Structure 1
């Protein structure tokens, strides 16, 4: 009979650079404690925020005021890279999320699928709880590891500074991504600030404690592997099956997610006609937007058009959006 003593080592397999439960948190907003049951492979892998955006911090122009800055929120950049298309302008809408972070999973059937698959498989394995405490201990360590990770992640994704509030002011951003992908983001200025300013993860109030939680969470996964090696052959296979299936469902759920929830805002591709428009060259895009907005200073500062290529009358500070009492500040 095949010796499966080392089978639990598969728990440490990391099929991707970013574990899917971290990607789930980046797409769905601040993690909930119910995420403790989202188990997957490679849970000992530390999260590197720059892996989300592949080190890219795209340039942005506020077309209503002319300010130019960069998007530093890694989760936002990751989403922009997902929806962007080479040679196309994709228009996004940013709106406030009335349900907030607490209600984000009520409309996520794939989340419930992953949850119930994990729960059922674990129940099958734990049916023999008196016979195999090794399995119980291993599962407990994995759940404790997830709990510590969630506590740390919640602390680092708590609401933070997004600049001065400008209630009721409309904003219009143009974002230049790599591979000639262009994204236009529209919404209230306060909503745009909330999803573009700052980093996805910021320093927690108790950084030493959170670092200890993260380190302990990773060590617990290794301990779970060691303990599971002493479990029965059947229980090893049950727990591994649970992790593989849960991992697959979570990856599928992330791949099918079309929008982004971030800082109590929802970002989706606009439902209006022409929300995805093709251009033969970037200059055509710039000229179209300059004509629509009524000003070209943002395009010149962004470097997508030369000063001599625009009408001098459009270089001023007036536009159909402009209100002298409201300005979008550089973030």
Structure 2
């Protein structure tokens, strides 16, 4: 207390409370979903990457925002839509308005060469990580282990219990994602040895060209990335979500030091995982990898792009079907088409 003009002036010390620190775990961040989509899978060490959005990992299939862009095969003229949400999300990230971005699609490993569950790559590493991505991810794992050790040394069992609940929730989601990623796949009929060339028209005038083997292109553009959850799997993910809410509710029982560590754990890992996602330049899925090839090429208008590709491919049927160019009307049917005189043929 301080005396001022014969009276007592009480100075109130601040009373800091972090009882609601666990609510940070419920923040609607998509860093975990983005990691899942970019790597096409989940690894066992993900249970140590504890950050906001743990309960929303199963929503990785909706990162594309409901967009299924039109796509044309420049080699055959066939027009369809890309149905794989993870691929669409990656295209949205690498595409630029008014630019044509070329991607190379290649084989990461064949289905029969998938590493076993207990291998090092299953435990920790992702195939497509850069040095920066690997360091950021490894730092997140080490930081989580460090926080666990510090909380244990402080004998704050409530805080330690909350962290273990979050890890248990993470483990449930990781196992379900791995099972769904290895479900039965459909990617159309095999065309072994054929090379493909696709043009994708994304929203906001972002243009993507994908080159690679036809079978590899089919694996990453058609069918499902993650199969639908079974009843048992949906129960497990629901339980994992409840564990996150339970952990958030128990935070008030932890000591102030433990609450501070939990807050630093959640915020720190969110930042580190965001760095890892940003540094990941390739997409992997079903043994396929997709990466940007060269620099994007800018076009003044979409018609210029269509004309350049028509000249290169020596065919324009794909451009007509996608509405990129309009051909002169045919005198036989008054449409812009390539009619054949049936009588002459017969």
User: Is the TM-score greater than 0.5?
Assistant: yes
- Give the secondary-structure state (helix, strand or coil) at the position aligned to 1:109: helix
Which runs of 5 or more residues in structure 2 are unaligned? 1-13, 116-120, 330-336, 340-346
- Total equivalences in the alignment: 304
1:163 and 1:153 mapped to 2: Cα distance? 23
89, 104, 112: which one aligns with 2:126: 104
Is this contact kept in 2: 1:30–1:158, CA < 8 A? no
What are the equivalent positions in structure 2 for 1:93-172 lying under 5 Å apart? 93-98=104-109, 102=121, 104=126, 107=130, 108-128=134-154, 131-159=155-183, 160-172=185-197
Q: 1:29·1:264 contact (CA, 8 Å) conserved in 2?
A: no
Distance 2:46 2:338 in 1: 51
Is 1:289 matched up with 2:309? yes
SS of alignment partner, residue 166 of structure 1: coil
**Residues 233 and 215 of structure 1: CA distance in aligned 2, closer, same or farther (over 3 Å):** same
* Counterpart position of 2:227: 202
Render the CA deviation track for 1:23-46: whole Å, top value 9, x for unaligned.
101001211112111110132336
User: What is the match of residue 192 of structure 1?
Assistant: 217
Give the alignment's TM-score, normalised by structure 2.
Answer: 0.82
**C-alpha deviation, 1:254, in angstroms:** 1.1
The aligned counterpart of 2:38 is 27
Structure 1 Cα separation of the partners of residues 48 and 222 of structure 2: 31
Query: Does residue 71 of structure 2 align to residue 68 of structure 1?
Result: no
- Following the alignment from structure 1 to structure 2, what is the Cα–Cα distance between the partners of residues 13 and 209? 24
- Answer yes or no: is 1:258 the counterpart of 2:284: no
The secondary structure found in structure 1 opposite 2:46 is helix
* Among 250, 254, 265, the residue aligned to 1:231: 254
- Specify the SS of the correspondent of 1:48: helix
CA–CA separation in structure 2 for the residues paired with 1:198 and 1:121: 41
Residue ranges of structure 1 left out of the alignment (5+ in a row): 317-331
Aligned to 1:57: 68
> CA-atom RMSD, angstroms?
2.3
Greater than 6 Å deviation, 4+ residue runs: none
C-alpha displacement of 1:243: 1.1
Q: 1:90 touches 1:269 (CA, 8 Å); kept in 2?
A: yes
Instruction: Specify the structure having the higher radius of gyration (Cα).
Output: 2
Partners of 1:15 and 1:211 in 2: CA distance: 20
Cα distance between partner residues in 1 of 2:320 and 2:22: 56
Query: 1:6 maps to which residue?
Result: 19
